[in-house]
Amino acid sequence: MEATRILAVRHGETAWNRITRIQGHTDIELNEHGRWQAERLAEALRDEPLAAVYASDLKRARETAEAVAHRRDMPVHIHMGLRERGFGRFEGHTWDELELRFPAETLAWRKRMPDFAPPGGETLLQLRERVLAAVDDLAARHPGEQVLMVVHGGVLDVLYRAATRLDIQAPRSWALPNTAVNRLLWSPEGLGLVGWADVRHLQTDSLDEQHV
């Protein structure tokens, strides 16, 4: 089977991203800057061949994917397996608030304990299983083609670790910028890393002052 090329992109910025409030499954839409990022992404990908556009069902991912798909008159295919990690009762809180209210649980999260789940949320093991199953399913439909998947920071973390064979508890040393373009190669044997965190489309002299 031929490999599938994947453009994996984190959604544009939201108001909660800006103030580091945990989103998880909470359905937050893009803010103005996030919509600008999505349009810049669409422009950056204008010459990229895309067999399909996939996105998480959450608004912030769906809106970002729609900016790209709209220019091509393509549909956005929704897959719930591409959702962000569920953070249960952590959602809606900032890091500072969590450390004050739930210090022991927050420490377990910071240490990336694989079987720890915030009450009502998912463990890292559950997230990894869900995400890799979804990506395997979608990528296998497009041998020899390239697809766009608009997802979330936690999803991209899983994909980076899978592509580089990093342990689930290894400290993160890679960036997850909003609307950065990340390139992966999928085959039935697994994922490979081609390129990561390309944000050249966001670094332009034509930026309005409000985006600086």
Contact by Cβ (8 Å): 209, 68: no
- The residue from 63, 84, 91, 122 that is catalytic is 84
Q: Identify any residues that bridge with 6 across adjacent strands, giving them in sequence order.
A: 147, 184
Q: How far apart are alpha carbons 201 and 68 in whole angstroms?
A: 13
- The residue from 11, 25, 33, 93 that is catalytic is 11
84 among known catalytic residues: yes
- Alpha-carbon distance values, 179 to 27, 47, 149 (Å): 18, 17, 11
Strands 76-78 and 4-10: unpaired
As annotated, the active-site residues are 11, 84
